[in-house]
Chains A and B, each alone.
Chain A
Amino acid sequence: KQEVTQIPAALSVPEGENLVLNCSFTDSAIYNLQWFRQDPGKGLTSLLLIQSSQREQTSGRLNASLDKSSGRSTLYIAASQPGDSATYLCAVSGSARQLTFGSGTQLTVLP
């Protein structure tokens, strides 16, 4: 059974700092990996999707990498802003395409 772990559970950084969020998964036979953002009391917004054949994806200040062999992904946020404060969730899709989620990293960017 696929298991997804996100460390740390919470992170607080000053504005302007570059930061990395980590995601690890136990079964490397994945179809793709997605990073989501969740604001308090809201649904999830997809940030980046990396297919299993890709190594990274970029969108603006966000860069996500994927290393299938080691079962790891990172989400890099450059020049963090208070508006980046949210919970970030990692999810992997297996051969049946169903998503398995990590429990998330709650990010706070301090002004």
Chain B
Amino acid sequence: NAGVTQTPKFQVLKTGQSMTLQCAQDMNHEYMSWYRQDPGMGLRLIHYSVGAGITDQGEVPNGYNVSRSTTEDFPLRLLSAAPSQTSVYFCASSPTLAKNIQYFGAGTRLSVL
């Protein structure tokens, strides 16, 4: 059972480039979310999804897009990367929004130059 899988583990981008961070879970969880973690600031919610076809914004959504076409996958797209988006990104899933014991992926470390 792989749990929550994030790819890539590391990425370096130049300002203005776009890219997609991948997240997949094999636990048939309804709820998935993306966080960013910056030094001294804890994790902040970017976007979340309560099921296929449904997404919503979190605390810091600007500069990011998401879609949820399947239960398993929840990709995060950076439209035009900025140095302020240098961070560690975590994807998480939980069985339902109510049962929100969340399972986290190992993270993607992104640097924007």
Chain A contacts to B: CB under 8 angstroms? 4, 9, 31-32, 34, 36, 41-46, 49, 89, 91, 93, 97-99, 101-104
Contact segment of B11-19, B63-71, B76-84, B93-101 = B93-101
Question: What's the count of A-B pairs with C-beta under 8 Å?
Answer: 51
- Chain B residues near A102 (CB-CB < 8 A): 42
Chain B contacts to A: CB under 8 angstroms? 4, 33, 35, 40-45, 48, 58, 90, 92, 97-98, 100-107
| A interface majority secondary structure | strand
Do B58 and A43 touch across chains, with their CB atoms under 8 A apart?
no
Give the CA-CA distance A9 to B58 in the complex, in Å: 25
Do B42 and A97 touch across chains, with their CB atoms under 8 A apart?
no
Give the CA-CA distance A103 to B97 in the complex, in Å: 23
Do A44 and B101 touch across chains, with their CB atoms under 8 A apart?
no
Give the CA-CA distance A98 to B48 in the complex, in Å: 9
- Chain A residues near B90 (CB-CB < 8 A): 43-44
